[in-house]
Structure 1
Amino acid sequence: MIERLVDTHIHVWNFDQAEYPWLKGDTSILNRTYDLAELEPQRIKAGVTTGILVQAANNPEDTNWMLETAKTQDWIKGIVGWLPLKDPQATARTLEQQYRPAGLLKGVRHLIHDERDPRWLLQDTVLESLGLLAAMDIPYDLVGILPAHIETALRVAEKWPALRMVFDHLNQPPIGRLDKDWQHLMITAAAHPNFYVKISGLGTAARKGHDWTAGDLEPCIEFALHYFGEDRCFCGGDWPVADLAGSYESTWTTYRTLIGKYLDQNGQAKLYHTNATRFYNLPI
């Protein structure tokens, strides 16, 4: 019986509070406001006890809305927010005056996969801001989709080896096909002790709608556990995006079934709460 289960990847968005450019013109189920109360029945069924909200727009309004939401939900223990990384002075000021005092900012993310240049993080000003995060022990979420995003992350690690980074959704693994570039780059990243992987978003990455199976996802989870080990992996449900490929409850059931094939209870506890608690500096 799992007593603690941390979901490190939950989204909320509210069109009255912030703008979400990537949803403009979207015709899927995602193009509407999503409130956390809507997730509650499925959260209870899935056994999730702790949650982290993750940014969905490169603007302060989205982060502020997550903070307001987190304050009303005891089970939400932090957020992964957005900062103006291209402006190091503004980044430092926002951290010190607004986000750090509140105590809920546990990580930072920018939608790098929406930027034209996959090397966006390598701009001098952005690198300076990432150095601030490293100095403050604030981790960074990498939402990459291309091998070039992994290459960029490796360059960042060379510049700031103390910065802890996690590949959201395993950087979109090539589910169902062999991709030597992805494998080689992820193996290279795994050799760096401050790179982690988030087992999340794999149902949508399968690109089969609701027709994916546990067998489709298993090679990716086995890969993550083999190369990153049980100490540098943790999980996320990716609600509501994951609803494009199935229910929140079924996503967690699949992850737990597959992880249970490879890890004993101690190892499973690491993936379900210990690693996430350590990575995001969550209250125990």
Structure 2
Amino acid sequence: METNNSKMIIDTHIHIWDTEQSSYNWLSGAPELLKRSYTIGELDTARKTAGIHAGVFVQADVQMEDSFHMLEVARNTDWIKGVVSWLPLADTQRTAKLLEERLLKDDYFVGVRHLIHDEKDPQWLLQPAVIESLKMLAAHNIPYDVVGVLPEHIETILNVAEQVPELRMVFDHLNAPPIGSGERYGRWGALMQEAAKNKTIYAKISGLGTVAGAGKFTPEQVTPYIEFILEYFGAGRCFCGGDWPVSLLARDYVDTWEVYKRTLSSLLPGEALEKVYAGNAIRFYDLKL
């Protein structure tokens, strides 16, 4: 198994959850495999085999208990370098208080995300209070992770970028490209091309096993979509994430990274590959390695 030890690789999308710490309401409708607590210790052997040098936690619940749990675990896990937290963006006053009194003082706090794909309104981010909170993030140079699954989510981000032009954002899981249907590239592609014109918007190559569906997460299946993203966003605005443990629904951790590494190494020369593996993530999240 090739581990790419010569190149630093940062996994920018790792989840942990403790069902005794938080409620994780979405787990009630999740596959049985995910309906338990997941600890970072479970990943240690696999991440070494996969050649992963550093990692970033990403929120998995819409309450602060989940984020505080991740921050505490990060402080006690030497290879975890940052946490993308949840914040109550629809409550600007509470968001401001949490930032000033807690999060901005924590070296592991590197970004914010809300589970917008679970909201009925794909324009949830365009609420005036949320926009004010996003402006607050931009003022503190804190980036925002976009977990979109619909073309309408991309349209919303185009609108957010107009209203908060200084805010750096990244599309988690490439905003669900149509890998399963094989469409190339449809409305998703047209909107991602439009989004790529904005230099503050990045693309996270992650979660494609879940997006692709059973049996379709192979280098051959995902290469056209990753190549498309690299063409429009460029190697300077893309980085990678494993999406463990959700990724286990498609492949194990080592195999997941093998798909990404084979695909990316076939598409990019060495210097560009190093940017996608680590350099861009370090810059986007301002990681301290």
Percent identity for Structure 1 against Structure 2: 51
1:241 to 243, 246, 268: 246
From 201, 210, 213, the counterpart of 1:207: 213
Residues 1:194 and 2:209 aligned together: no
Is 1:98–2:133 an aligned residue pair? Answer: no
Q: C-alpha separation between the residues in 2 aligned to 1:27 and 1:5?
A: 29
Match of 2:117 in 1: 113
> Which residue number in structure 2 is paired with residue 256 of structure 1?
261
Aligned to 1:45: 49
TM alignment of 1:133-152, pairs within 5 A: 133-152=137-156
Of 70, 74, 87, the match for 1:70: 74
8 Å Cα contact 2:209/2:216 also seen in 1 = no
SS of the residue 1:234 aligns to = strand
Q: CA RMSD in A?
A: 1.0
Where do residues 7-86 of structure 1 align in structure 2 (5 Å cutoff)?
Answer: 7-86=11-90
SS in 1 for 2:12: strand
Displacement of 1:217 in angstroms is: 0.6
Deviation at 1:107, TM superposition (A): 0.3
- Mark the runs of 5 or more structure 1 residues left unpaired by the alignment: none
Instruction: State the partner residue of 2:183.
Output: 177
TM-score (norm 1): 0.98
- Distance, in Å, in 2 between the alignment partners of 1:168 and 1:25 is 21
In 2, distance between residues paired with 1:163 and 1:251?
30
Q: Which runs of 4+ in 1 moved over 3 A?
A: none
Amino acid at match of 1:228: F
Alpha-carbon separation, structure 2, partners of 1:28 and 1:62: 20
Q: Which consecutive residues of structure 2, in runs of 5 or more, have no partner in the other structure?
A: none
Q: Which moved more, 1:39-48 or 1:26-35?
A: 26-35
Pairing partner for 2:273 from 247, 262, 268:
268
Q: Distance in 2 between matches of 1:123 and 1:166?
A: 19
1:282 maps onto 2:283 in alignment: no
Other-structure match for 1:219: 224
Per-residue deviation, residues 28-77 of structure 1 (Å, max 9, x unmatched): 20011000000111000001011000000010010011011101101101
Which whole-Å CA distance do the structure 1 matches of 2:18 and 2:29 have between them? 16
Task: Tell me the CA shift for residue 26 of structure 1.
Answer: 3.0
- Which string of whole-angstrom CA distances, capped at 9 and with x for unpartnered residues, describes residues 90-119 of structure 1? 111101111111211100000000000000
1:107-165 Cα distance to aligned partner (Å, 9 max, x none): 00000000000000000000000000011000000000000000000000000111000
In the alignment of these two chains, the number of paired residues is 283
Query: Using the alignment, how far apart are the partners of 1:78 and 1:273 within structure 2?
Result: 13
- Residue 24 of structure 1 aligns to a residue whose secondary structure is helix
- Residue 264 of structure 1 deviates from its aligned partner by 1.1
Shift of 1:25: 4.0
For residues 22 and 86 of structure 2, what CA distance do their matches in structure 1 show?
Answer: 13
After TM superposition, the structure 1 stretch with the greater mean CA deviation from structure 2, 249-258 or 116-125, is 249-258
